[in-house]
Amino acid sequence: MTAVTATTDVARNPYAEPAAVHPVRFLHALNPIAKLAAPLPVMVALLFTRGVAIPLAFVALTLVLLLVGARLSGRVLAILLVGLPVGVLVLGVTFGVWVDPSRIDTASAAASVVLVEVGGWQLTLAAYLVGLATALRIAALLVLSLIAGLTTTGPELVRALVQNLRVPYRLGYTALAALRFVPRFGHELEVIRAAHRVRGTDGGRGPLAAVRRTISYAIPLLASAIRHAERVALAMDARAFGAHPTRTERTISRWRTRDTLFVAAFWITAVAIYVAAFAAGA
């Protein structure tokens, strides 16, 4: 019955968007502001955290949340499950090398455990734990930002800010138009590079040639940006954009009960992690 209904809808409206192949995960259905408000206090608190347990707990919690609630590609999964742990371990060693000895508690048992020794230099377990805590804080900030970054698009965020937080729509949609310039500039740059290669004016090889190519690309890119900005301005003016204090929206962004529950559950879990860590002396 579902297949017949979908076929009938497409036949009735050939311009209708096809049904999604993958089911919508719950993070994608949340309001973008909820996905920003939930991790933001935790990200601020992590800046003042010095232990290993708290950022490690948030990294694990966020990874589980993304795996369950977000639609991730194979490449993103590989980065999160393989690249992230390897990067944390390597960064832990890198930061541990530069740890100030005064920050290490020489009375602890970890201070006497030597992991690496080269000549007269030693990397102790205590120094590595200090570096690992820093690496884990960076990883926790990264994965927390991915809650919104992997499940929210630019238009969705702008609509939520304009409709729910009452950000002036002139400001919101102007920023969105500016973001649209970025992929266009990338396309224009590839076209300019191809044109230079076809004409044999790519400037050769070497650092000086790269500088010359960059300068030669700047003027055509600037001219293209001015032309595109002029077309966008004329189109917005023709549609009376900015002439009225408010505007109608084709897509409505609503704050629902599930958004409140998500933010509250995230904050309660974060408080529980901090309380448990402080109670354990971590």
Look at residue 14 and tell me if it is in a domain.
no
Domain assignment present for residue 4? The answer is no
Tokens representing 218 are 């700047």
> Please, which pLDDT band fits residue 11 given cuts at 50, 70 and 90?
very low
Rounded-to-integer distance, Cα 52 and Cα 39, Å: 19
* Tens of pLDDT, residues 185-201: 788 888 888 887 777 66
pLDDT for 106: 55
Ramachandran assignment for 203, one of left (phi > 0), alpha (psi -120 to 50 degrees), beta (any other): left
Q: What percent of the chain has pLDDT over 90?
A: 34
pLDDT at 4: 45
The total number of residues written for the chain in this structure: 282
**pTM for this prediction:** 0.74
d(CA 213, CA 101): 48
Max mean pLDDT among 77-91, 151-165, 176-190 falls in 77-91
pLDDT over threshold 50, residue 15: no
CA dihedral 77, 83, 88, 91 (to 10 degrees): -150
Domain range enclosing 223: 179-238
3-state secondary structure of 124: strand
Instruction: Say yes or no to pLDDT of 17 above 60.
Output: no
d(CA 125, CA 116): 9
Is the pLDDT higher at 178 or at 92?
Answer: 92
Q: Which residues contact 39 (CB under 8 A, 6 or more apart)?
A: 62, 144, 145, 147, 148, 266
How do the residues of the chain divide into helix, strand and coil, expressed in percent and rounded to 5? Answer: 70, 5, 25
Co-location of 229 and 260 in the same domain: no
Instruction: Check whether residue 141 and residue 259 sit in a common domain.
Output: yes
Q: How many domains does the chain have?
A: 2
278 pLDDT more than 90: no
Predicted local confidence at residue 277, as pLDDT: 87
25-53 tens-digit pLDDT: 889 999 999 999 999 999 999 998 888 89
**Is 161 inside a domain boundary?**
no
The answer to whether position 167 is within a domain reads no
Question: What does the pLDDT look like over 138-161, one tens digit per residue?
Answer: 999 999 999 999 999 888 888 888
